[in-house]
Amino acid sequence: MFVAEAGCLYPFRRDVRPPPERENAKMRRGKDLHVAIERALLSQPAVGDRPEVLHAYRWATERWSVLHCETPIGIDPTNGTARQYDTKDDIPDDHVAVVVDVHSREAAAVYDWKTGSQFSSFSYAPQVKLNGYAVAALLGVEDVESGLAYVSAHGITAKSWLLDAFDLARQRQQLRLWAAQAPTAEPTPCAACKWCPARAICPAMVDKEAKWTA
Ligand code: SF4
């Protein structure tokens, strides 16, 4: 979504299939931690002895008595409605697929676990807005708290934003516009190229690299 927000819809064309991301040690560590936190939250006795997991468990359970983990939500961009699916693979291809890390329905709050540095220059704003929209549309509410919870062995540092009816309406409009434009989108080099999942197959990047190596 950060690529769309930066101005390029090419990776969202149906005929463009970005290759699977190559995992590095940092990404593997992040994934492992997500799984461990989810397990701890779903089966309380098995919190384990990793300090990061213990902090995440305490942080979430002190806030909410009932919470949901790793929830696949599909948003129909033509009308902005959302529903929960059993797995991400069940979400229709023409829907926007979101898997939210942890959310509370009573509190209308959603958080994404972050296992990297909170001082990274990468902007998570598109993800925060999309997560917030997905949960608000799922619950049918007009205000939602959406945030990032940075997990470390020293504790949790959380940042959150309150999205109101205006923010949600803007996100709905944007999703509708992107869905209409994506089928014919051309590569548009932008600030997100560096992190783009389609970079390896993007004609704009291939041309650029060919020029450099000529
Ligand atoms: S690498 Fe290509 S597809 Fe990705 S954002 Fe840049 S121009 Fe768009």
The pLDDT of residue 50 is 86
- The answer on pLDDT for 45 being more than 60 is no
Share of the chain above pLDDT 70, in %: 94
Q: Ligand 1 atom 5: the closest Cα is on which residue?
A: 193
Q: Ligand 1 atom 7: the closest Cα is on which residue?
A: 189
pLDDT digits (tens, 9 = 90+) for 159-186: 999 999 999 999 999 999 999 999 999 9
Of the candidates 159, 128, 149, the one whose C-alpha atom is nearest the C-alpha of residue 57 is 149
Contact 104, 66 (CB under 8 A): yes
Q: Which atom of ligand 1 is nearest to the CA of 196?
A: 4
Question: Residues 108-135: what's their mean pLDDT?
Answer: 92
What is the end-to-end Cα distance of the chain in Å, rounded?
A: 33
Q: In CATH, what class is 2-213?
A: alpha beta
The pLDDT of residue 19 is 85
Distance 1 CA to ligand 1 centre (A): 12
Q: Provide the token pair at 49.
A: 């002895």
CB of 4 closer than 6 angstroms to any ligand 1 atom = no
